[in-house]
Amino acid sequence: MRLRGRRRKRLPVEELLGVTFRDPKLLSQALTHRSYAHEASLETGETNERLEFLGDAVLDLVISDHLFRHYRDLDEGKLTRIRSYLVNMGSLAELAREMGLGEHVLLSRDERADGGAEKASIISDALEALIGAVYLDQGLEAARKMVLRIFGERLEEAARGDLDFDYKSRLQELAVKEKGVLPRYRLREEGPDHCKVFHAVVYVGDRRMGSGSGTSKKEAEQAAARDALRRRREAEAAGGGKPRPSRR
């Protein structure tokens, strides 16, 4: 990845973000997963993990500030609910997938072969790291604009009450009504105790309907149910009636 030069054409990932970095090294670091750093013999501090830590805080501030200033009729409970919906691994990963961010993340050969470019934990961290990098590169206002550009549509939908946050309950209602069975969730976990990631797959009968990840079992199951409902909506919009089974 060549990132040198003051007057340069935007890189594809910068086009996705709508930002041209003043310090391209920050962009490169934000995209560097620890597997790539290990393979390339980089220093620990050259991964995106510290930037992800910073970006998480910036994202939380920007979303909270926007909700507080623009939705004065919402109480503290509703504001917290909306923020929690937006600022979690499942939502971040879904947005990152929609952007096509995974293909730009620097991964080791083994990690990429293992599907790392689609892993929720990797691409959600990369998105937060990019937010942190923009904050360092150009300040809070630039980071705010980028966050609202990426999250704006979902934020407005959530604030209007157009989104159903309890995806598990909604999926259960549909499964019982249409199939007479309850959804089943299969869980697996990875990572150390202090930084676990949970992955869930939801089945209705023998049919795999959706998958998702999160930092808790509950969050992962909600993400899987949301994925199942999204696939259902897409199938209905396409006129197929039944969603195609999830393969993720």
Give the integer Cα–Cα distance in Å for 90 and 198: 11
Q: Respond yes or no: is residue 137 known to be catalytic.
A: no
Residue 101: how many other CB atoms lie within 10 Å = 23
- Closest to 205 (Cα-Cα) out of 239, 240, 245, 165: 245
Identify the active-site residue in 14, 52, 56, 137: 56
Give Dmax over CA atoms of the chain in angstroms.
Answer: 62
Q: How large is the angle between the packed helices 120-138 and 49-70, nearest 10 degrees?
A: 80
Give the integer Cα–Cα distance in Å for 178 and 236: 15
SS3 213: strand
Give the integer Cα–Cα distance in Å for 191 and 147: 28
Backbone phi and psi for residue 187, each to the nearest 5 degrees, phi listed first: -120, 145
Q: Are 155 and 70 in contact (CB under 8 A)?
A: no
Q: Are 85 and 165 in contact (CB under 8 A)?
A: yes
Q: Are 201 and 185 in contact (CB under 8 A)?
A: yes
Identify the active-site residue in 111, 128, 137, 227: 128
Give the integer Cα–Cα distance in Å for 21 and 37: 21
Residues 6 or more apart in contact with residue 43 via CB below 8 angstroms = 37
Q: Respond yes or no: is residue 73 known to be catalytic.
A: no
What residues are labeled active site?
56, 128
